[in-house]
Amino acid sequence: MVKKVFFFTAAFLVLLSAAGMQRLESAGRRPEREEEAYEDVNPQPTGEVSGEVREIYMEAFQFEFDPAEIVVYEGEEVEITAVSTDVTHGLGIDEYGIDITLEPDQEEVISFIADEPGTYTIRCTVFCGAGHGDMQGKLIVLPED
């Protein structure tokens, strides 16, 4: 009887310390790869490459850009054909000096070289209604590896 109690106590202690070690391990774990900075990102580049140019088609409407996120590679020449399907919007990417007005149903072509990797905000630059302030998209320039 005493032996049995001892056994269960010992087993219980072993279990406890195993659980404790696991907790310590997960608390001390660090991100394993540097690419985790891009982990919320769809790594698939957007659009099609034609010749030397990555061509992307984008629609703007209250209060979104579609696609909301575009992904390109560093060094690529990017050509965005953008159109508003409702009211007048703007398409701005501050860091790339882009600010284009999109009149309804009129395609505009925006060209730039994606020379700096990073994540940039695409924002509507023309007041377009109640949700204007939240009308944003994202440009992700993936580093060349």
Residues of the shown chain interacting with Cu ion in the complex, contacts defined by CB under 5 A: 124, 128, 132, 135
CB of 132 to Cu ion, least distance (A): 4
Select 129 or 143, whichever has its Cβ closest to Cu ion.
129
- Give CA–CA dist 83/142, Å, rounded: 25
Select 72 or 126, whichever has its Cβ closest to Cu ion.
126
Select 132 or 138, whichever has its Cβ closest to Cu ion.
132
CB of 78 to Cu ion, least distance (A): 22
Give the sheet arrangement for strand 69-73, strand by strand.
69-73, 136-142, 118-123, 89-93, 98-102
Q: Are 102 and 60 in contact (CB under 8 A)?
A: yes
User: Could you tell me which of 89, 128, 129 has the C-alpha nearest to residue 110?
Assistant: 89
Select 78 or 135, whichever has its Cβ closest to Cu ion.
135
CB of 72 to Cu ion, least distance (A): 23
Q: How many CA atoms lie within 13 A of 61 on its CB side?
A: 7
CB of 63 to Cu ion, least distance (A): 7
